[in-house]
Amino acid sequence: MVKVLILVGYGINCDYETEHAFRLANAETERVHVNELITREKNLENYDIMAIPGGFSFGDDLSAGKVLANKMKTNLHDEVMEFVKSGKLIIGVCNGFQVLVKYPLLPSMEKQEATLTFNDCGRFLDRWVYLRINEKSRCIWTRGITQLYLPIRHGEGKFVVKDENVRKKLHDEGLIALQYCDKQGNITDEFPWNPNGSIDSIAGICDKTGRIFGLMPHPEGYLYKTNHPRWTRGESEKGEGLKIFRNAVEYAEENLV
């Protein structure tokens, strides 16, 4: 059975929802405090998937996700690199996405090439957004999906890159996994469809293998039709976010277990 490590500790607060999502996808899950990995009480190599859930790790001091990223890189870098090298999967949602780009594990591991910073609107946003999956994307997590409707909850969700070369690489190498769009699925930079001002309306990216995936919207926030804000009007029949977790578990079943 696919084993998933749900990272917890220091302000992470979407761990139970993330764990439930993977359980619905038929995976075996364990919530593990980052200190348990650092002290080697738990070993990362014993898991097939690592999830870094959303929240406010270390209160978003310095910048969102930065302290947790540094803590992991300082204490767990060899283990994380071996985990990636062995073909396993990583997902970072919201604060977890911020961790992945500041570690960095996304979009590449050589140096930090992107970041997530304050929303253009200047405030925290808690609302639902329309998303279109990039058909050219390498992302394993979004296979077979064309559009999604998911909640966002962030104050620092604006995705920006270091320079135009990085931006070009994201497009040319299929690293853009999903983008904000309007109801008709048209990519637009206009608010509120693009809620934070991300370049090219980028809501999530993957690495060149497609196995490491980071996104600002919360797929674990839409697992049942009753999670949908308009479910009583009959606008939802199932939780669209679950597809993402099922894709990962199915891939791990075929390639790792």
Please report the pLDDT score of residue 136 as a whole number: 93
SS3 246: helix
> Is the domain covering 3-255 a CATH 3.40.50.880 domain?
yes
Three-state SS sequence of 199-237: HHHEEEEECCCCCEEEECCCHHHCCCHHHCCCHHHCCCC
Sequence ranges of the domains in the chain: 3-255
Residues with Cβ within 8 Å of residue 74, at least 6 apart in sequence: none
* pLDDT single digits (tens) 197-252: 999 999 999 999 999 999 999 999 999 999 999 999 988 878 999 999 999 999 99
Is pTM beyond 0.85 here?
Answer: yes
- Residues carrying an active site annotation: 94, 218, 220
Contact 39, 32 (CB under 8 A): no
- Which residues in the chain land under pLDDT 50? none
